[in-house]
Amino acid sequence: MRIGVLTGGGDAPGLNAAIRAVARRAFERGIQVTGVKNGWAGLLQAGDLDELTPASVRGILPLGGTILGTSRTNPLKEKGGVEQSLALLRGNGIDGLVAIGGDDTLSVAAAMSEAGYPVVGVPKTIDNDLSATEFCIGFDTAVGVVVEALDRLHTTASAHHRVMVVEVMGRDTGWVAMVGGLAGGADMILIPEFPLRLGEVEQHLHRRRGEGKDFSIIVVAEGVKMQSGDGTGSGPAAQPEKRDAFGHVQLARQGVGDALSTQIEELTGFETRVTVLGHLQRGGSPSPIDRIWATRVGVAATDLLAENKAGLIPVRQNGEVAIVPLREVIRETRRVPESLFRLQRIFG
């Protein structure tokens, strides 16, 4: 038996740990492994495949990025893209595929599975927004980066008595902002799930000053659409939209953090600075939690294919590995619950 493995979408710390787990389990079971380069792009045109060996997956557990490369290529958008990919897999004697990715990559995996080819998934995204799983590879490390940044920003904010606005990733959800902000002691966390008006931000900052707190840290998720003070406007985000192959707006270009800090300074007169954490959140070595879970779900994914089970994905439910249909994790975007939003408000 031979299986393929690919990583698609934005990279995340822990991808190499997952590739290693898929491959090591396969070698242990006498299965050969082909690495598909650069996500779904490696299955289009002439293809871009690489034999994985015990040597090629050695020493990669602590490495960020992905040894296979990744891309946001979408075969569902290419004419005959799925058929071409399946022909390439079959033509290279690949009996099944492990697709490591978030909702975009896994939506292609589900389509291939429904077209009759054995595909299993592995959940990855720093955004942590897949449904049916408590864990996505990369989230824990990204949260760690936010926490370290907030610890550092606290000292400089306090020294200058400033407002610091920190823009974090997360696409249309506020998981990275909420969990990172809670752990890093942010005074206010703005997330797409619970929109706040600029007037509320202004009031909050004045209240803190009134209480003798002469600096503030505000975490804002990149996907936030702020409303104007009277609730009528569409908010400060300013730049024109640019979309990727899956139709997602490139939110970093919207510049919500920058626009928010300008508005805060105008409304309050408090000196304000912005830090956009950007791709720092995706770089570097994975945390122990990301390494361990990438290992557990990677091994489970190989086991599924080895046992001729497909159209499935190992996830974490109640702290354990559970197996659910691929469609289940992309059924809806998992959003931050109100309980966490309310919890954070206590610490403003």
DSSP 286: P
Work out whether 10 is an interface residue with ligand F6P (CB under 6 A). yes
HSE-up of residue 217 (Cα within 13 Å, Cβ side): 28
Place of tokens 């409303």: 227
Stretch that binds ligand F6P, among 192-200, 227-235, 245-253, 256-264 (CB under 6 A): 245-253
Work out whether 170 is an interface residue with ligand F6P (CB under 6 A). yes
Work out whether 74 is an interface residue with ligand F6P (CB under 6 A). no
Stretch that binds ligand F6P, among 20-28, 163-171, 265-273, 292-300 (CB under 6 A): 163-171
In the residue annotation, 127 being an active-site residue is answered as yes
Out of 127, 129, 140, 290, which one is annotated catalytic?
127
What is the distance between the alpha carbons of residues 137 and 131, in angstroms, rounded to a whole number? 14
Sheet holding 320-325, edge to edge: 49-52, 32-36, 2-7, 96-101, 119-123, 312-317, 320-325
Classify 93 in phi/psi space as left (phi over 0), alpha (psi -120 to 50) or beta: left
Write down the least CB distance from residue 9 to ligand F6P, Å. 6
Q: Please say which residue, 57 or 237, places its beta carbon nearer to ligand F6P.
A: 237
Q: Out of 108, 119, 126, 163, which residue is the one contacting ligand F6P (CB under 6 A)?
A: 126
Binding letters toward ligand F6P, positions 23-52, x by CB under 6 A? ------------------------------
| Contact status, residue 195 vs residue 246, Cβ threshold 8 Å | no
| Contact status, residue 278 vs residue 254, Cβ threshold 8 Å | no
Measured between alpha carbons, how far is residue 16 from residues 20, 99, 113, 252, 254 in Å? 6, 13, 24, 25, 31
Binding letters toward ligand F6P, positions 217-236, x by CB under 6 A? -----x--------------
Residues 6+ apart with CB under 8 A from 90: 117
Write down the least CB distance from residue 44 to ligand F6P, Å. 19
Q: Out of 41, 198, 251, 313, which residue is the one contacting ligand F6P (CB under 6 A)?
A: 251
Work out whether 101 is an interface residue with ligand F6P (CB under 6 A). no
| Contact status, residue 119 vs residue 107, Cβ threshold 8 Å | no
Work out whether 127 is an interface residue with ligand F6P (CB under 6 A). yes
- Return the structure tokens found at 141: 């490390």
Q: Out of 89, 109, 165, 169, which residue is the one contacting ligand F6P (CB under 6 A)?
A: 169
Measured between alpha carbons, how far is residue 344 from residues 197, 223, 337 in Å? 17, 18, 12
Work out whether 172 is an interface residue with ligand F6P (CB under 6 A). no
HSE-up of residue 236 (Cα within 13 Å, Cβ side): 23
Work out whether 171 is an interface residue with ligand F6P (CB under 6 A). yes
Write down the least CB distance from residue 222 to ligand F6P, Å. 6
Q: Please say which residue, 197 or 248, places its beta carbon nearer to ligand F6P.
A: 248
- Interface ranges with ligand F6P (CB under 6 A): 10, 102, 125-127, 169-171, 222, 250-252, 282
List, by residue number, the catalytic residues: 127
